[in-house]
């Protein structure tokens, strides 16, 4: 897979409904994963909330979204990030190093429960970036 850049939107419990709406509006294929499919101990009401969803459209658009995780404040107006994803570890780690330099790392770039290497940072200009490296890196 080549690396790609796309918007990632956060919701306060409406991610599934929003992504179904965007699928209806834009067409394509929607993949949805709930918090309950990865975590067994969650606050009430979180098992069916969306941990990650991806809409791929026939026009080549990619839109990702999730419900804000437990303990993370949802702030309308700042509820988006730019997502970089792919399987080229060297390329994506290089982007991570540059984007996080002078910024704030909120999730270190490391292996996550879903098996990929993931990190999240806010760059020195206040833009939130998420980097996900798929595959079996060590």
CATH code of the domain made up of 4-133: 3.10.180.10
CA distances to 31, 43, 55, 60, 136 from 128, rounded to whole Å, are: 23, 25, 20, 23, 25
pTM higher than the cut 0.85: no
As a whole number of angstroms, the distance between CA 104 and CA 128 comes to: 9
As a whole number of angstroms, the distance between CA 119 and CA 113 comes to: 12
Residues whose CB is less than 8 angstroms from the CB of residue 42 and which lie 6 or more positions away in sequence, other chains included:
35, 36, 70
Give 46-78 pLDDT, tens digit per residue: 899 999 999 999 988 899 999 988 888 887 777
Give 86-132 pLDDT, tens digit per residue: 999 998 999 999 999 999 999 999 999 899 999 999 988 788 999 99
């Amino acid at each position: 897979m080549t690396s790609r850049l796309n918007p990632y939107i956060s919701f306060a419990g409406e991610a599934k409904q929003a992504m179904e709406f965007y699928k209806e509006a834009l067409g394509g294929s929607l993949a949805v994963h709930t918090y309950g499919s990865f975590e067994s101990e969650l606050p009430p009401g979180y098992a069916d909330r969306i941990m990650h969803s991806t809409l791929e459209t026939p026009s080549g658009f990619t839109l990702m979204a999730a419900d804000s995780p437990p303990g993370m404040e949802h702030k309308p107006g700042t509820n988006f990030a730019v997502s970089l994803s792919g399987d080229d570890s060297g390329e994506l780690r290089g982007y991570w190093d540059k984007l996080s330099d002078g910024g704030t790392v909120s999730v270190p770039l490391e292996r996550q429960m879903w098996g990929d290497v993931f990190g999240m940072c806010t760059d020195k200009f206040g833009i939130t970036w998420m980097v996900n490296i798929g595959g079996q890196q060590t």
